[in-house]
Structure 1
Amino acid sequence: MNAHPYNVLLPESGTPVVEKWNVNKFYQQIHFHKEFQITMIQEGSGFLFVSDKVVPYEKGDVYFFGRNLPHALKTNNESMENSRSGSKAISLFFDQDKIKESFRNVPEAYRINKLIESSHYGIKVNRDSARYLTDYIEELTTSSGLNKFILFLKLLNVASRDNNVMLLSPKAAPSKIGVENDPKIAKICAFVKDNYRDLITLSEIADLAHMSPTGFCRFFKSKTKKTFSQYLAEVRIGSACELLHDADYSISDCGYGSGFNNLSNFHKQFKKYTGMSPMEYRSNINNN
């Protein structure tokens, strides 16, 4: 998959940018951007490409795309031929770091932070929640100032309470910031991809980058905007999500097979990054 960067201009205030799309077909180039995106489909149908997955989309769907997640909405020909109104959608773009920073000392906002983390994989909101979110998203198109920001926070709060979201791409590509432009980061990511099922120590990774452990930690976070332990956990959780789609594997098989040598830690990390337990995730697959 060849994804291209896409530029979105955001205001310094931190309020989301709202775009209304009314076109014959959506922008079909697979792309990524550093801004968090929420998209509601108003008209049209086709296929949504998210990292390594392809899923159908239709009117009424609401999707969340995390930072640098490759994606594209590809309108099918039948939809273009049968629809007089073309393809319509409303998308919100915002800086997820500013939102998370504003909630740093607000314990009640932990669900919103989990939602943002889970969107690294791409999220499809369940139908009941999507219908409820529609009013907020449509109202945001005509709001401004403080009222716009309050509406946006209400939207995130409602979405964060949805326990039946569908993770779209369990093996979503990691952040591209620094990966393509820095050979050391690319080398580390390739090593993790090949060895995440085994024990990987910080000393081992630092040696691979020819750095001290402390120096490597600073370097990796400056390039990817996350710690190495976070990145490794995301890769392992992505693998576990993929295995959970196969009913032949038990929950413990999925944990051990993804590099977790402790089931308690597996459940804790899975809940942290996806917002649900492995069992809930598997049940959600069956329900969708």
Structure 2
Amino acid sequence: MINTELFKEVSPLSSKDCFILIERQKTNFNFPIHIHPECELNFIENAKGAQRIVGDSIEEIDEEELVLVTNPHLEHAWKDYRNVSKNIHEITIQFHPDLLTDTFLNKNQMISIRQLFRHAERGVAFSRESIAKVRPLLKTLTCENDSFYSLIKLLIILHELSIDKGMRELSTGQFAANVMHQHSSDESLGRVMDYLSRHYSEVIRLSEVAEMVNMSESSFCRFFKQHTSKSFIDFLTDIRLGAASRALIDSSLSIAEIGYDCGFNNLSNFNRIFKKKKGVTPSEFRDNYRKNKTII
């Protein structure tokens, strides 16, 4: 069954980054159920009663929460549910699946981390004891200024979590296997995704993309919605917004220049769509993100 709320998050993490760390103080959970290709380690405190959704696992969380997801197609989200706290603290770390290569992970010293990543394809929640052990490292990581030491600290955190005997797999194996099969079996979708990721800054016509996979426009729209839970236009917009978000963080280009470079035809359209999707204007996003993000 396709989840109509499913949202493909576009991370500002680039191919040259090791990982991105985002620290937030927030009053509620408002991000939809989503997927993304990056591995994600998510720490939450002061949100007892919130609801965690990872695949087919739905649970109420405690005062502290630490979850790792390494499956690019495993949907996940946190929702308010019974949480009444207005002082939620969240630290999210995202890194590319190939940050640690297979050759490196096959070394004897990395066996436990390799096994951890396999378990985390279903999503794993860590024990209170492990959370207590890595909490100080997570918090010092948010203010580490040396990128090399930041990477070393992340490896230490992953090692400590990998030896947690109390970790629990969240989603069932069959559910995780099904979503992996569903998203890896269609070459046509892969061709479209690759094209969009390379040409998002240009004018992209639905008719041309449909012709690329030998479908009529109506058939392609149904096919695309079935496989992504989003319309073609919405999906392309999300890709453009992801690129714009990265540019707002990294570059000193003006808001208008970034909008045009990312495929938006005018500044007012860019501002309107960005605020609708992100909840803030591009200018506000740039200011807010620079206050609470670290990219290594």
Same fold (TM over 0.5): yes
CA distance in 1, matches of 2:19, 2:56: 27
In the alignment, what sits opposite 2:130?
A: 129
Find the counterpart in structure 2 of residue 21 from structure 1.
24
Q: TM-score, normalised by structure 1?
A: 0.57
Corresponding position of 1:42: 45
In structure 1, the partner of 2:158 is: 156
2:153 and 2:103 map into 1 onto residues whose CA distance is 16
| One-letter identity of the residue aligned with 2:46 | E
1:58 is displaced (CA, Å) by 2.5
Q: 5+ unaligned residues in a row in structure 2: which ranges?
A: 191-296
**Runs in 1 of length 4+ with deviation above 6 angstroms?**
none
2:60 counterpart of 1:59: no
Shift in Å, 1:182: 4.0
Mapped contact 2:67–2:123 kept (Cα < 8 A):
yes
Offset, 1:8: 0.8
1:75 aligns with 2:76: no
Following TM superposition, by how much is the alpha carbon of 1:115 offset from its aligned partner in structure 2, in angstroms?
0.6
- Uncovered stretches (5+) of structure 1, i.e. residues with no partner: 185-288
Answer yes or no: is the 8 Å Cα contact 2:54–2:77 preserved in 1. yes
Q: 1:19 to 1:180 in 2, by over 3 A?
A: farther
> Any idea what the Cα deviations from partners look like across 1:25-65, whole Å, max 9, x if unmatched?
12341100000000111221311111112011122111111
TM superposition shift of 1:101: 3.8
Q: How many residues are aligned here?
A: 180
Shift of 1:179: 4.5
- Superposed CA deviations along residues 122-173 of structure 1, whole A, max 9, x for unmatched, are 1000110111111111111111310100100100110111122111111325
Q: Deviations over 1:215-252 (max 9, x none)?
A: xxxxxxxxxxxxxxxxxxxxxxxxxxxxxxxxxxxxxx
Q: How has the CA–CA distance of structure 1 residues 116 and 105 changed in structure 2, closer, same or farther, with 3 Å as cutoff?
A: closer
C-alpha separation between the residues in 1 aligned to 2:65 and 2:153? 20
Share of identical aligned residues, percent? 19
* 2:9 is the alignment partner of 1:6: yes
Kindly provide the CA deviation profile for residues 58-107 of structure 1, in whole angstroms up to 9, marking residues without a partner as x. 2211111113220000012x423xx242x221110001222134614522
Indicate the structure whose relative CO is greater, using CA pairs within 8 Å and at least 6 residues apart: 2
* 1:97 aligned partner: 98
* TM-score calculated relative to the size of structure 2: 0.56
Q: CA offsets, 1:169-218, max 9 Å, x none? A: 1132533644566489xxxxxxxxxxxxxxxxxxxxxxxxxxxxxxxxxx
Aligned-pair RMSD on alpha carbons?
A: 2.2
